[in-house]
Structure 1
Amino acid sequence: MELPRTTVIRSQFLVLLFDWLARNGAAETADAIRHELELPQEGGTLVKELTVPLSSYRTASELAATRTRDAFIGLHVARDLPRGSFGIVEFAARSAPDVEEGFNRAVRYLRLLSETIRLELRKFGGEVALVHRIPGEPLCVGRQGNEFTLGLFHAFLRELTQSDAQAKRVEFAHPAPDDVGELERFFGTTQLLFGAGRNMIVWSDSILSLPLVSHDQGLLPWLDEYARTLLPPDSALDQRIPGLHEQIRQCLQVQTVPTLVEVARRLRLSTRTLQRRLEAVGTSFQAELESVRVELAEWYLRDPKWSIYETALLLGYADQRGFERAFVKWRGITPKEYRRTHPSTS
């Protein structure tokens, strides 16, 4: 379901941006932007935040970039972030034993920071990706916020593993800037895609097992317990059928037809119970299967190693024609046209 046009977002980034400006001799610029956009007072306790319309979030960060003549200000804030800026979410991730567990905690506890943003960890064919998006908002949080977010995760990866890990490719929701050199240097790749409708950073899945130097085996259970007590309720679908999309993905990845019966078996539910729970939240198994298929289809179509025919088979279609018809229904263009307008990033 798409969000209303007047999307409101809780933003830690704007607070961090204004603090960064103050530390770098531009406090007057920060104050002027606050006044000009009539931004509210900061809220929150341990983690400071502003609750603003998404349009104000984007405008404030672009004004900061323009007035400081720093086109990559979002990336620079991420690079210089003070430890503990994201409170319990950050410390739980930092205390995890390895990269995978750290990322999983960031995904799991994100709702403590934002009800609007979605963060997902995806694994396909030797790669792992963090996907950052806002449903119904193809620009996501705007250029500076997008670059801040992906820069933040990449910087954390390098800091906490004490490695020079390189991204394989990076996708941004916003249009391409005139100069991408600093982004290429920061992420360690020339494979950048813009206008992707969401933000995504892809690494080799070998990074997942890298140990975190900040791992704290004694503290981690306490942080997890506290974070869980703070979490708001899951979405209606997640509450009723936790793991539904993950089981559909797993079926497709092992070339098992993801039928209602098979997914119910994997979830240890009866077929009737699964169907009843789907109906209770206003959806159907077919609708959720299509949601997963379109997500995977876009992934495979951006990777030139998969032909359209192979993509069809990977998604559980008997032939290419059936997949092409479905994709036109989802996106209004053919898979071939999608591949042409979303060039390879590998």
Structure 2
Amino acid sequence: MKPLPMRLGDLSVGFVQALADAVRSCAHDPAPLLEQFGLDTARLAQPLARLSIPRYMRLGHAAIALTGNAALGLRMGQLSRLSQVGLAGVTAAQAPTVREAARTLIRFEPLYGSNYRGQSSLHEDARGAWLRFYSISPYNAYNRFVVDSIIAGWLQHLSTVAAQPLSCEQIDIEFSEPDYALHYSELGSAAIHFRADTNQLRLNHATLDLRNPQHCPSTWAYLLQLCERELEQLTRTRSLRERITQLLGPLLNGGREPDLEEVAARLKLPTWTLRRKLTEEGTQFRAILNDTRRDLAMTYIRDTELAFGEIAYLLGFASAEAFQRAFKRWNAQTPGEYRRRQRQSA
């Protein structure tokens, strides 16, 4: 059977509302652009509707081209609303404090967005916390706006909870300082560090402890129950193979190949137990690794503009040549031939 390219991830169409508002703030009508991407009013009103990550990146790139505003991602974040991230956002809006709102947005992120590259995280310590967005490198004109919109959006959402503008202590951005770097000053007086090890913002304890004047304990408790129920529904039916496939994405990134021991540690299983369970499911770790690489390779080539060397790095190959040999072995054609045929048939 011919393998089907796997999805790189998707997110709620609610994110499109912030993009439309940002385009509108630049004195442009977003409707023609959205319709070009199949996002008419009816589609945007569908419950639980999702948009693929590659399509979202192409939409953002097109919106930046339309407006001529390279900092559009920052504007998107500033104009975003908690309701646009669905049930998780509505729940966060009822959190008792900024801290609980941040925890809610991070814990229930799978309800409004998923990406094989990873999941956002909250790192709390004695002095405050980091809200960390996973790496989506290599960066280019198609994905820098995503990082900008997430960082600015977090700050906007938590400001909504506190009913006052919040200032963070520091913002770290993985990519190099862009031409529009001055626009980051709109996020407050925080120190901005480009070419950082990760994408994150820092909040101190005083900010995290700010109370939500709109908090209602009973509503908050009920919404949390709904979120937990939805999250359980998302995760309880996954097979071991599916769980490993989800883990492999972030582990592959960086030109290295994860091994069975590393995956077993992430699953909190002894290596021999993981090997036995995979045998019971009729598969092996190497087969899952190869299938994941193959499916991701096909998706990257089909849905993105990444160079083959960049794809090789993302899939854990030591070189572009090693990747191209593997791809030809999997599909009986080179990556270049596959991309050309996909573009011709589109």
Q: 1:218-248: CA deviations, max 9, x gaps?
A: 20111111122222116779xx9xxxxxxxx
Counterpart position of 1:201:
201
In 2, the alpha carbon distance for the partners of 1:125 and 1:60 equals 40
2:145 maps to 144
The runs of 4+ residues in structure 1 deviating greater than 4 Å are: 22-25, 38-41, 234-237, 273-283
Give yes or no for the alignment of 1:58 onto 2:62.
no
Inter-partner Cα distance in structure 2 for 1:233 and 1:61: 29
Match of 2:20 among 13, 18, 21: 18
Report what 2:226 is aligned to.
Answer: 226
Deviation at 1:185, TM superposition (A): 3.5
Unaligned stretches of 5+ residues in structure 1: 241-270, 284-329, 333-346
Q: How far is 1:39 from its partner? A: 4.6
Q: Write the distance in 1 (CA, Å) between the matches of 2:169 and 2:52.
A: 34
> Structure 2 counterpart of 1:92, which letter?
T
Distance in 2 (alpha carbons) for counterparts of 1:39 and 1:169: 38
SS in 1 for 2:120: strand
Query: 1:158 aligns to what?
Result: 159
In structure 2, what is the Cα distance between the partners aligned to 1:45 and 1:6?
21
C-alpha distance in 2 between matches for 1:182 and 1:218:
40
- Residue deviations 1:174-204, cap 9 Å, x none? 33211322202313223322364x4211122
* CA gap 1:67/1:43 in 2 versus in 1, 3 angstroms: closer
Aligned residue number for residue 181 of structure 2: 180
Name whichever of 145-154 and 115-124 sits farther off. 115-124
**Partner residue in 2 for 1:73:** 72
Query: Within 2, Cα distance between the matches of 1:25 and 1:166?
Result: 28
Identity of aligned residues (%): 15
In 2 relative to 1, CA 65–98 (structure 1 residues): closer, same or farther, beyond 3 Å?
A: same
Paired amino acid for 1:71: A
Contact 1:167 1:189 in 2 (8 A): yes
TM-score by length of 2: 0.58
In structure 2, the CA distance between the partners of 1:23 and 1:50, relative to structure 1 (3 Å rule), is: farther
The structural deviation recorded for 1:71 is 2.4
- Paired letter, 2:18: L
More helix by share: 2
Matched length: 244
Higher relative CO (Cα under 8 Å, sequence separation at least 6) belongs to: 2
RMSD: 3.7
User: Take 1:66 and 1:274, find their aligned partners in 2: how far apart are those partners?
Assistant: 51
Amino acid at match of 2:59: A
Q: Is the 8 A contact 2:106 2:121 kept in 1?
A: yes
